[in-house]
Amino acid sequence: MRFWSEETSLTALLVFVSFEMFLLFPLLESGVLFGLVNSTIFSLLLLSGLLTITRHPLLRTACALLVVVVLVIDWLQFVGIPGLVFWDALFSAVGLGALTAVVLWAVLRTGPVTAHRIRGAIAAYLLLAITFAYVYGLIEYLYPGSLRFPEGLDIVQGKLHQGFLYFSVVTITTLGYGDITPVHPWARAAVMLEAIIGPLYLAILVARLVSLGLGTGKSKPSDTHSR
């Protein structure tokens, strides 16, 4: 739990997420062991973060159960038990969404705006894109053909396939190349939601960080005058 008490950890988280998204994941996309290790790391970060910001015993128990369920499903898939794709995608999306909230709590809590906090905000932005990638995988699993992919691109339904991650990134940044298109109504709804959240995230984040910076700046003269 000391990870979330030090702002330098936000920088470390950004490095880890960036390394995973842009280098490790494309190289080891089909590796089951990689997925297990990756999920374990994220689950431990989520558990420690939720326990840090949550004091209510009932909420702490619920958070711990969520993390345990994610890990158990991943381990069951690792040993070869079929039929868990849906639950893996569902709980992975929920867990990553919760982890994103934890990171934002660490970034936006009261205190001076530092470079570590800004890097943490970028990490939360990337985690949000990964979360929506799982959502697209879940929709594709429930409704095959919800996303129209280019010919020759094999999609593993429900899995964090690079195609889903790529589509999520170009959607949240409102880039939209158009090579992957949503067809099913639920897929289009998710795309609209992510496309709205992306710009709003940046606008609200900048406003909050500016207000924190101004608040910190205003507190210094009063402190000096009181002395």
- Model confidence at 222, in pLDDT bands (50, 70, 90)? very low
Residue with tokens 């959502």: 135
pLDDT digits (tens, 9 = 90+) for 152-200: 665 655 455 678 888 999 999 988 888 889 999 999 999 999 999 999 9
Residue with tokens 């989520």: 46
**pLDDT at position 94, please?**
87
**Token digits for 102?**
């934890």
202 pLDDT exceeds 90? no
In 54-179, which residue ranges form alpha helices assigned H by DSSP?
Answer: 57-78, 85-108, 115-142, 162-172
**Token digits for 206?**
């900048």
Backbone angles phi, psi at 61, to 5 degrees: -65, -45
First to last CA, the chain: 36
pLDDT digits (tens, 9 = 90+) for 92-150: 888 888 888 888 888 888 878 888 888 889 999 999 999 999 899 899 888 988 988 88
- Model confidence at 226, in pLDDT bands (50, 70, 90)? very low
Least confident of 78-87, 205-214, 215-224: 215-224
Closest by CA to 129, choosing from 41, 33, 17, 25, is 17
In sequence order, the 6+-apart residues with CB closer than 8 A to the CB of 143 are 184, 186, 187
* DSSP-assigned letter for residue 5: G
**pLDDT at position 32, please?**
61
Closest by CA to 182, choosing from 174, 192, 196, 169, is 192
In 79-114, which residue ranges form alpha helices assigned H by DSSP?
Answer: 85-108
Domains of the chain by start residue, with CATH: 2-219 (1.10.287.70)
218 pLDDT exceeds 70? no
The phi-psi region of residue 47 (left if phi > 0; otherwise alpha if psi is between -120 and 50; otherwise beta) is alpha
pTM, 2 dp: 0.83
Q: Between 180 and 29, whose confidence is greater?
A: 180
Residue with tokens 């996303």: 147
Identity of residue 220? K
**Token digits for 29?**
């996309």
221 pLDDT exceeds 50? no
Contact criterion met (CB below 8 Å) for 102 and 124: no
Q: Between 4 and 17, whose confidence is greater?
A: 17
- The total number of residues shown for the chain amounts to 227
| 9/80 Cα distance (integer angstroms) | 35
pLDDT digits (tens, 9 = 90+) for 47-77: 787 777 777 788 778 878 888 888 888 788 7
**pLDDT at position 112, please?**
83
Identity of residue 184? H
